[in-house]
Amino acid sequence: MYQEMILQHYRAPHGRGLPTGPAVHEGARKNPLCGDDMRVGVVLAGDTIAAVGFEGRGCSITMASASMLTDAVRERPVVEARALAAAVEALLRGEVVREELLGGDLRALAGVAAYPQRVGCARMPWLALLDALEEARGTRV
């Protein structure tokens, strides 16, 4: 599970810090098992995620997942970000996910599926992202 890719993101996470400004939509999640928390903020430009960042504390799996998330969804259409979240969820359930649906660093999360107690750690930032996107949808005129 502790692949070099995960450790790299953990040691130097990307996308740390929430975007600022009135247009930020935010999602927040807590892991009641360990007390960790995660906030993900997005700014949309039309149907595209123009800016994304996270703030929170967590284990290496949570932090690496959040870091990879920001790399993966920045400047991507919302619909693609949602598809990516679904693909990550499938990967964490131990399902086979095709490379074209989910590529790059995120594939390192596949190892987490073997540790059911830790799947929640990897999932937390993605749930926060979906909350943020849901909030954005709710406030759109």
Distance CA(124)–CA(74), nearest Å, equals 18
CB nearer another protein, residue 56 or residue 81: 56
CB nearer another protein, residue 33 or residue 96: 33
Minimum distance of another protein from residue 88's CB (angstroms) = 19
User: Which helix H or strand E contains 85, and what residues bound it?
Assistant: helix 78-92
Minimum distance of another protein from residue 76's CB (angstroms) = 29
Buried b (16+ CB within 10 A) or exposed e, 61-81: bbbbbbbbbbebbbeeebeeb
Proportion of the chain in helix, strand, coil states, percent, rounded to 5: 50, 20, 30
CB–CB of 129/73 below 8 Å?
yes
CB nearer another protein, residue 41 or residue 58: 58
Q: Which residues bind another protein (CB under 8 A)?
A: 1-2, 7, 10-11, 33-37, 57-61, 115, 117-118, 121
Minimum distance of another protein from residue 21's CB (angstroms) = 28
Minimum distance of another protein from residue 93's CB (angstroms) = 18
CB nearer another protein, residue 36 or residue 126: 36
100-65-6-110 Cα dihedral, nearest 10 degrees: -50
